[in-house]
């Protein structure tokens, strides 16, 4: 086997025959590092290549025995679709300490308790450290095997020998292929090791879950081809000082990428949150000015969150506009619409917006809640009791419809809210509304202010 020396970008994986200060592919500076690349005998996963076969007609292919299996954790299954798919490769990424290892060790414990053999490969911790975490999570099963190794050849040998139903590798940045000279975690090692494991999974029918690191800007460490190789890419999000975590799918070859799993970190690890709306509304400030309840959709799941605003007179020449949990550019647009179409002077005020609970909202349905929260804080007028609202706000001050109206109304009704302010175009003959709920359709910002704030002329 021959090798050649090339320069590989540590950000995007692009190769160059010589060193340059700037990567020609992604434009990043000082990211090219010299690595050895195989030129002969290179073939990803050649040893796992199955026997030659003939092309088959789509009609003749059956999938009766190709069914998913549950992880034992409902929120995890929700994000995956219906569970894990045999012979698939799943990449779970997230910030350090967010709970990736905890979640997957709990999953391994659930599966092993059902009699399924699981191999947990740790490259960052000793087996004693994994045992301490397992004891804390009350996990003890003879079918859960722990293996501390970073050499890919030894890992493959154990997988072929044990043939488990699921393999967890913590993490992919720590393993290395001895055929390549770059250090573990380099672009070449991550790419080649993942490709070899992918071929192994398809050949042996083993489900492999990889834990991946992220860079300082929040993207998955390693070449972007890493995300293209695997079948499912999951992001674990949350703040270290908060108890809840969000699991999102950004790629899923076997299901939707719109589902979101919500977990709460406790003494016994991560547990699914059964009533997320109650979780986010707990200890809320619904009776204060500047606080508005908005039903949002995370995937197909409706959540009620509280949008809070604070408006004070600016002490400097340039007013401050800050948002937590909402895009600052979107906030600037909504404030301009409110000042122009709602005739509310905000030019000399500092405006702060916060989404309670630490959620990051992106869908336009929250626009109306933001507008009313700022108006309530600026005028010091409380929102009408037991009221919630949603809708997209256009530049002309018009309120546009958003999808999922029945789900939003149903979730708010379940929690006891009795007054809904929604886009007028969402009111149609077939719309089902909860019993004893007053649903008000509005066309513009002026109508919204009249129907949502106390003391505003009806």
Residue 2 pLDDT greater than 80, yes or no: no
CA–CA dist 103, 260 (Å, integer): 15
Q: Is 166 exposed, middle or buried (0-12, 13-18, 19+ CB in 10 A)?
A: buried
Residue 350 pLDDT greater than 90, yes or no: yes
| Residue 121 main-chain phi, psi, to 5 deg | -100, 120
**pLDDT band of 223, cuts 50, 70, 90:** low
Domain locations in the chain as residue ranges:
1-41, 69-272, 279-452
pLDDT averaged over every residue in the chain: 87
Residues listed for the chain: 458
* DSSP one-letter code for 46: G
Residue 182 pLDDT greater than 90, yes or no: no
**pLDDT band of 106, cuts 50, 70, 90:** very high
CA–CA dist 192, 394 (Å, integer): 48
**pLDDT per position as a tens digit, 115-143:** 999 999 999 999 999 999 999 999 999 99
What mean pLDDT comes out for the span 286-313? 88
Give the pLDDT of residue 153: 93
Class of domain 69-272: alpha beta
Question: Is the pTM above the cut of 0.85?
Answer: no
Give the pLDDT of residue 240: 55
β-bridge mates for residue 269, sequence order: 266
DSSP string, 48-110: GPPPP-----GGG---TT---B--S-HHHHHHHSSSBPTT-EEEEEE-TTSSHHHHHHHHHHH
CB atoms within 10 A of CB 77: 20
3-state secondary structure of 409: helix
What mean pLDDT comes out for the span 202-228? 81
Angle, to 10 degrees, between the axis of helix 328-341 and the axis of helix 445-452? 90
Higher pLDDT, 292 or 301: 292
Q: Does domain 279-452 have CATH number 3.40.50.10540?
A: no
Give the pLDDT of residue 45: 42
**pLDDT per position as a tens digit, 427-445:** 886 788 898 899 999 999 9
β-bridge mates for residue 310, sequence order: 352
CB atoms within 10 A of CB 316: 7
User: 373, 381 in Cβ contact below 8 A?
Assistant: no
Token pair listed for 64: 């009766």
CA–CA dist 439, 441 (Å, integer): 7
């Amino acid at each position: 086997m021959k090798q050649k020396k090339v320069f590989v970008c540590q950000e995007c994986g692009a190769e160059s025959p010589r060193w340059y200060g700037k990567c020609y592919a992604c434009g990043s500076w000082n990211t090219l590092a010299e690595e050895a690349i195989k030129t002969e005998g290179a073939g990803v996963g050649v040893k796992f290549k199955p026997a030659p076969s003939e092309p088959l007609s789509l009609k003749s292919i059956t999938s009766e025995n190709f069914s998913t299996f549950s992880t034992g954790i409902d929120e995890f299954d929700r994000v995956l679709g219906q569970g894990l798919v045999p012979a698939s490769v799943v990449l779970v990424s997230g910030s350090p300490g967010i709970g990736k290892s905890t979640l997957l060790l709990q999953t391994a414990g659930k599966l092993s308790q059902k009699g399924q053999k699981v191999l947990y490969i740790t490259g960052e911790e000793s087996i004693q450290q994994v045992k301490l975490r397992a004891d804390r999570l009350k996990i003890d099963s003879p079918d859960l095997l722990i293996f501390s190794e970073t050499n890919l050849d030894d890992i493959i040998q154990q997988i072929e020998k044990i043939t488990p139903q699921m393999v967890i590798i913590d993490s992919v940045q720590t393993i290395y292929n001895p055929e390549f000279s770059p250090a573990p975690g380099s672009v070449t090692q991550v790419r080649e090791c993942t490709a070899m494991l992918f071929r192994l999974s398809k050949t042996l029918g083993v489900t492999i879950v990889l834990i991946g690191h992220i860079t300082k800007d929040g993207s998955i460490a390693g070449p972007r081809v890493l995300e293209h190789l695997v079948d499912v890419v999951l992001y674990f999000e949350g703040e270290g000082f908060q108890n809840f975590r969000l699991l999102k799918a950004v790629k899923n070859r076997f299901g939707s990428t719109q589902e979101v799993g919500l977990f709460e970190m406790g003494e016994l690890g991560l547990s699914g949150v059964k009533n997320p709306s109650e979780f986010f509304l707990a200890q809320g400030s619904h009776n204060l000015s500047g606080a508005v309840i908005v039903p949002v959709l995370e995937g197909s799941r409706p959540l009620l969150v509280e949008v809070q605003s604070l408006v004070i007179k600016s002490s400097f020449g340039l007013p401050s506009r800050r948002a937590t949990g909402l895009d600052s550019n979107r906030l600037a647009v909504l404030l301009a619409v409110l000042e122009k179409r709602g005739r509310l002077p905000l030019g000399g005020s500092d405006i702060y917006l916060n989404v309670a609970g630490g959620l990051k909202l992106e869908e336009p349905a929250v626009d109306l809640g933001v507008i009313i929260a700022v108006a309530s804080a600026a005028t010091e007028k409380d929102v009408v009791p037991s009221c919630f609202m949603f809708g997209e706000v256009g530049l002309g001050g018009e309120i546009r419809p958003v999808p999922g109206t029945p789900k939003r109304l149903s979730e708010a009704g379940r929690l006891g809210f009795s007054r809904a302010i929604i886009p007028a175009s969402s009111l149609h003959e077939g719309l089902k509304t909860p019993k004893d709920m007053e649903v008000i359709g509005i066309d513009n910002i002026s109508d919204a202010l009249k129907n949502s704030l106390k003391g505003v002329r009806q």
